[in-house]
Amino acid sequence: MNAYKILVVTAVTAEAEAIRPGLDSDLIVVGAVGVGPAAAAAGTARLLATGNYRAVISAGIAGGFPGRAPVGGTVLATRSIAADLGAETPDGFLPVEELGFGSSVLECDPALVKALSEALPAALVGDVLTLSTVTGTQATADRLAARFPQAVAEAMEGYGVASAALGAGVPFAELRTISNPVGPRDRAAWRLADAFAALRAAAPALTTLL
């Protein structure tokens, strides 16, 4: 059977509910699977097993690296990178590839990225980091910005969704809108309304993938 549906995976229900009204097709399935890479991978694998999908998109809000992605902006990943998968050493962080255990970097499908960036011409394109811990200090933000000069944003699910997509042989992309700067924790200052408005505005672009 030909693969025709698109799966959009969010962490929380509010993200899924921001996306659904912008879709005029029941060929796009939006599911909220929980926060973090493990929930994202398990949830995506479960949803992929229920249908025949041609693409999987990890979507939701994210932190933006200051000077790279502004709050309220929209970001498309070229790569989803598990930034905290590896080993800490006194001399710095060793990514999992340097330990000989696979890859912390998963490439997004170039055709999906191209189609989405044509539909969202204002979107910034760059690496999106996946972390199990939201960055909350300037020191961590500076370390990540230096380790990943092409990173525009961090979130908590992309690499997990991408891992499940890779396992199922389905092309993957990541779409994020920015709710807060990556840096010292100030949860009260997160501009959720701006990020959700941008997510609602970006949703119709997903229908161009059909």
Ligand X SMILES: O=C(O)c1cccc(C(=O)CC[C@H]2O[C@@H](n3cnc4c(=O)[nH]cnc43)[C@H](O)[C@@H]2O)c1
Q: What is the DSSP string of 61-120?
A: EEEE-TTTS-TT-EEEEEEEEETT-EEEETTEEEEGGGGTS--SEEEPPHHHHHHHHHH-
Shortest distance in whole angstroms from residue 74 CB to ligand X:
14
What number of chain residues touch ligand X (CB under 6 A)?
19
Q: How far is the CB of 64 from ligand X (least distance, A)?
A: 8
Q: Would you give the binding string for ligand X spanning residues 146-185, x where CB under 6 A is met? A: --------xxxx---------------------xx-x---
Q: Which of 173, 175, 174 is nearest to 202 (CA)?
A: 175
Residue with tokens 């672009």: 205
Between 5 and 190, name the residue whose CB sits nearer to ligand X: 190
Residue 14 or residue 168: which is nearer to ligand X going by CB? Answer: 14
- 138's enclosing H/E stretch is helix 138-147
Q: Which stretch binds ligand X (CB under 6 A): 61-69, 81-89, 116-124, 201-209?
A: 61-69
Q: Would you call 24 helix, strand, or coil by DSSP?
A: coil
Cβ–Cβ under 8 Å, residues 79 and 107: yes
Task: Select the residue interacting with ligand X from 43, 63, 73, 171 (CB under 6 A).
Answer: 63
Q: Is 197 a binder of ligand X (CB under 6 A)? A: no
**39 counts as binding ligand X under rule CB under 6 A:** no
Return the structure tokens found at 95: 């990514």
Shortest Å distance, C-beta 110 to ligand X = 23
Minimum distance from residue 47 beta carbon to ligand X (Å): 16
Sites of contact with ligand X (CB under 6 A): 11-12, 14, 35, 60-63, 131, 134-135, 154-157, 179-180, 182, 192
